[in-house]
């Protein structure tokens, strides 16, 4: 809870993240649990990390998720199909990528989607979450 206050003070946005159900797609386990820990510290309930489109789709079907945090490059391709599924359900999401210019991996429709560059920190995660859910 202290973290939420700190983060929100820093980013200047009121706390809306507590208890949010976040889908986390990241195919590197260590990176994934790191981001998961950060999301949990800012009060989110995290589903994942999942490494494949298949697992992500199962979670989207089964859980009532509020928002998606998606690594662009994942096992067997990109997370574009997951983004499209979230989009079709009017769920906000943003991308996380280690690539400097991941835009060429994305279709036109997703070019404007918010992107965070790795390595991410709690503050940038929190402000990106607030931004896409606003």
Partner 1 sequence: MLEFLRKLFDTEGFPPRWQCGWAWTSELGWLHIASDVVIWGSYTAIPIVLAIFLTRRKDVPFPRIFWLFVAFIFFCGTTHLIEAIIFWQPVYRLSGLFKFGTAVVSLATVCALIPAMPRALAFRSPDDLEREVDLRTRNLQESEEHQRILMRELDHRVKNNITAIMSLADQTMYSTGELSAFRDAFMGRLAAMARTHDALSASRWSGAKLRQIADLTLTPYTSKNEHPVTFIGGDIRLTPRAASSLCMALHEMATNSVKYGSLSVSGGAISLSWSIDADGIQLHWIERGGPPVEPPERIGFGSTFLRGVIEHDLQGSVELLYPREGFECRMFIPSDQFVASTTIHEEDSESGTPPGRSTP
Task: Give me the residues that bind partner 1 (CB under 8 A), please.
Answer: 27-35, 37, 49-52, 73, 75, 97-101, 117-120
Q: By C-beta, is 81 or 119 nearer to partner 1?
A: 119
Q: How far is the CB of 95 from partner 1 (least distance, A)?
A: 14
Q: By C-beta, is 27 or 87 nearer to partner 1?
A: 27
Q: Report which DSSP code applies to 41.
A: H
Peptide bond into 49 cis (omega under 30): yes
Q: How far is the CB of 14 from partner 1 (least distance, A)?
A: 27
Q: How far is the CB of 56 from partner 1 (least distance, A)?
A: 13
CA dist 69 and 116 (Å) reads 10
CA dist 125 and 116 (Å) reads 8
Cα end-to-end distance, the chain, whole Å: 21
Q: By C-beta, is 57 or 87 nearer to partner 1?
A: 57
Q: By C-beta, is 60 or 120 nearer to partner 1?
A: 120
Peptide bond into 39 cis (omega under 30): no
């Amino acid at each position: 809870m202290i973290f939420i206050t700190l983060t929100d003070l820093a980013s200047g946005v009121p706390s809306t993240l507590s208890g949010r159900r976040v889908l986390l797609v990241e195919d590197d386990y260590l990176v994934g649990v790191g981001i998961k820990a950060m999301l949990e510290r800012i009060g989110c309930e995290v589903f994942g990390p999942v490494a494949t489109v298949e697992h992500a789709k199962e979670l989207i079907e089964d859980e009532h998720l509020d928002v998606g945090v998606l690594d662009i490059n994942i096992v067997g391709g990109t997370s574009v199909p997951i983004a499209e599924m979230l989009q079709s359900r009017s769920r906000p999401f943003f991308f996380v990528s280690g690539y400097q210019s991941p835009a060429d991996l994305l279709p036109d429709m997703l070019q404007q989607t918010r992107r965070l560059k790795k390595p991410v920190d709690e503050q940038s995660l929190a402000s990106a979450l607030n931004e896409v859910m606003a």
